[in-house]
Structure 1
Amino acid sequence: MTALRPERDSSPYGGEAAYGGADAFEGAGGFEAAVDRLADPLTDPLPGQPRTEQPVTAGRQEGWSEPERYARDWYPGQDRPRPQSPAQTPPRQPRHAAQAQTQQQSYEETYAPSYEEPAAVPYEQPAAVPYEDPGTAPYGQPVAPALPLDDETVALRIPDAPEKPRIGESATPAPGGRAARRKAARRHGRHGGAQEASEGLEPAEKGAEAPLSRLEARRAARARKPSAGVVVSRVIGEVFITTGVLMLLFVTYQLWWSNVRAHQQAGSAAHHLQEDWAKGKRNPGSFSPGQGFAILHIPKLDVVAPIAEGISKTKVLDRGMVGHYGEGDSKTAMPDAKSGNFGLAGHRNTHGEPFRYINRLKPGDEIVVETQDDYYVYEMTSILPVTPPSNTSVLDPIPRGSTFTKPGRYITLTTCTPEFTSKYRMIVWGKMVEDRPRSKGKPDALVG
Structure 2
Amino acid sequence: MRARRTRVPVVVQARAGRGPGARALWTCAETLVTCGVVVLLLAVHQLWWTNERARARAVEQVRTLEREWDSSPSAPTPQPVTVSPSPSPPVAAADPATSSPGASAAGPGPARPDVPYAVLRIPRLGLTVPVAHGVGRRTVLDRGYAGHYPGTAAPGRPGNFALAGHRNTHGEPFRRIDRLRPGDTLTVRTRERTHTYRVDRILPQTSPRDTGVIAPVPRSLHKPSYGYDRPGAYLTLTTCTPEFSSRYRLVVWARLVPPRT
TM-score w.r.t. length of structure 2: 0.77
The answer to whether structure 1 residue 284 and structure 2 residue 103 are counterparts is no
| Identical aligned residues as a percent | 42
C-alpha contact 1:262 1:351 (8 A) present in aligned 2: yes
Match of 1:380 in 2: 199
C-alpha contact 2:77 2:190 (8 A) present in aligned 1: no
Aligned partners of 2:61 and 2:30: how far apart in 1? 43
Within a 5 Å distance, the mapping from 1:427-438 to structure 2 comes to 427-435=251-259
The answer to whether structure 1 residue 313 and structure 2 residue 137 are counterparts is yes
Match of 2:23 in 1: 231
Equivalent residue for 1:248, pick from 40, 53, 60 = 40
C-alpha contact 2:120 2:188 (8 A) present in aligned 1: yes
Equivalent residue for 2:66, pick from 271, 274, 279 = 274
C-alpha contact 1:375 1:435 (8 A) present in aligned 2: no
Aligned partners of 1:332 and 1:429: how far apart in 2? 14
C-alpha contact 2:58 2:144 (8 A) present in aligned 1: yes
C-alpha contact 1:348 1:356 (8 A) present in aligned 2: yes
Within a 5 Å distance, the mapping from 1:108-123 to structure 2 comes to none
Equivalent residue for 1:371, pick from 183, 190, 206 = 190
C-alpha contact 1:381 1:403 (8 A) present in aligned 2: no
C-alpha contact 2:199 2:254 (8 A) present in aligned 1: yes
Aligned partners of 1:435 and 1:315: how far apart in 2? 33
The letter for the 2-side match of 1:335 is P
User: Which one has a larger percent helix, Structure 1 or Structure 2?
Assistant: 1
Match of 1:413 in 2: 237
* Higher-Rg member (1/2): 1
The letter for the 2-side match of 1:370 is R
C-alpha contact 2:187 2:197 (8 A) present in aligned 1: yes
Shift of 1:283: 4.5
1:224 counterpart SS class: coil
1:354 counterpart SS class: coil
Runs of 5+ unmatched residues, structure 2? 80-109, 221-225
Cα deviation code 1:109-132 (max 9, x no counterpart): xxxxxxxxxxxxxxxxxxxxxxxx
Within a 5 Å distance, the mapping from 1:2-401 to structure 2 comes to 220=14, 224-280=16-72, 282-285=76-79, 286-326=110-150, 331-337=151-157, 339-401=158-220
1:258 counterpart SS class: helix
Shift of 1:390: 0.6
Cα deviation code 1:12-39 (max 9, x no counterpart): xxxxxxxxxxxxxxxxxxxxxxxxxxxx
Equivalent residue for 1:424, pick from 238, 248, 261 = 248
The letter for the 2-side match of 1:394 is V
C-alpha contact 1:374 1:435 (8 A) present in aligned 2: no
Aligned partners of 1:270 and 1:225: how far apart in 2? 65
Aligned partners of 1:251 and 1:344: how far apart in 2? 27
Shift of 1:209: 7.3
1:348 counterpart SS class: coil
C-alpha contact 1:384 1:427 (8 A) present in aligned 2: yes
Count of equivalent residues: 222
Shift of 1:254: 2.3
Shift of 1:343: 0.4
Q: More deviation in 259-268 or 395-404?
A: 395-404
TM-score w.r.t. length of structure 1: 0.46
Match of 1:9 in 2: none
The letter for the 1-side match of 2:78 is P
The letter for the 1-side match of 2:196 is V
1:434 counterpart SS class: coil
Question: Where has structure 1 moved over 4 Å in runs of 4 or more?
Answer: none
User: Which one has a larger percent strand, Structure 1 or Structure 2?
Assistant: 2
Call closer, same or farther: CA 1:353–1:209 in 2, change over 3 Å.
closer
Call closer, same or farther: CA 1:433–1:298 in 2, change over 3 Å.
same
